[in-house]
Amino acid sequence: QKEVEQNSGPLSVPEGAIASLNCTYSDRGSQSFFWYRQYSGKSPELIMFIYSNGDKEDGRFTAQLNKASQYVSLLIRDSQPSDSATYLCAVNRVNAGGTSYGKLTFGQGTILTVHP
Amino acid sequence: GAGVSQSPSNKVTEKGKDVELRCDPISGHTALYWYRQSLGQGLEFLIYFQGNSAPDKSGLPSDRFSAERTGGSVSTLTIQRTQQEDSAVYLCASSFGVSGGTDTQYFGPGTRLTVL
């Protein structure tokens, strides 16, 4: 089992729709969760992070975390063609003392296409 | 600088040659990370620096790979006796290095390495 798994995609949605991107993780020690967007030929750019159970909203983006189910998702409302990219889920774990292990473990990414 | 910078942006080398890749982190960021991204492999962690020390080198694939960081700033990743399987995009990221699991990493533009 991979440490971080994302829905394989590609995912295609019409402009204006809600895009739903999902991620599951295997390590219960994971504490913080990040969503990055990567355009073709570019480096990953941070969209948002979440570390508490529940929802976190930032503009058109909502991250949802359920630690009991080891599941994190990203919703993109009012999807635009400019949202077309690969979305990467990444997790970070901390030790008992609360110190981050530093490295992020990434999923394989989900390719999202928003068509006009 | 405003963001993480990396040089060169592209490097083509012959099999067996040594290469050096450079990363200049965001000013004030104490933590620095190297990842690589190759087709079909996703983003994989290589090494993490906190200041000048490397508490986690677990991702370095072989002893041909080494990295150093001096002055708590610039880092160099060196690959000796390059092989064709080393061809990938090498990404550097930096963060403030705070504990608690909410430390966010920001990526540079990457160095595309091609080994002929």
d(CA B23, CA B34): 9
pLDDT > 80? residue B40: no
Identify residue A40 by its one-letter amino acid code.
S
Helix (H, G, I), strand (E, B), or coil: what is residue A81?
Answer: helix
Q: CA B106 → CA A82, B70, B74, B110, distances in Å?
A: 21, 20, 15, 12
pLDDT for the residue numbered A30? 78
B116 interfaces chain A, CB cutoff of 8 Å: no
d(CA B78, CA B21): 6
Query: Tens of pLDDT along chain A (116 residues)?
Result: 678 999 878 999 999 999 999 999 998 877 889 999 999 999 999 999 998 899 999 999 999 999 999 999 999 999 999 999 999 999 987 665 555 567 899 999 999 999 99
pLDDT for the residue numbered B100? 61
Q: Which residues lie closer than 8 Å to B46 by C-beta, 6 or more apart?
A: B33, B34, B35, B36, B59, B60, B61, B65, B67, B77, B90
Chain A CB contacts of B21 under 8 Å are none
pLDDT for the residue numbered A31? 81
On whether the CB atoms of residues B106 and B5 are closer than 8 A, the answer is no
Structure confidence at residue B25 as a pLDDT band (50, 70, 90): very high
pLDDT for the residue numbered B55? 80
Which of B58, B102, B106 minimises the CB distance to A46? B106
B106 interfaces chain A, CB cutoff of 8 Å: yes
Q: What is the pLDDT of residues A75-86, one digit of tens each?
A: 999 999 999 999
Distance, in angstroms, between A41 CA and closest chain B CA? 9
Give A36's strand partners.
Answer: A46, A88
d(CA B64, CA B40): 22
Structure tokens at A53: 């159970």
Say yes or no for a CB contact (<8 Å) between B101 and A31: yes
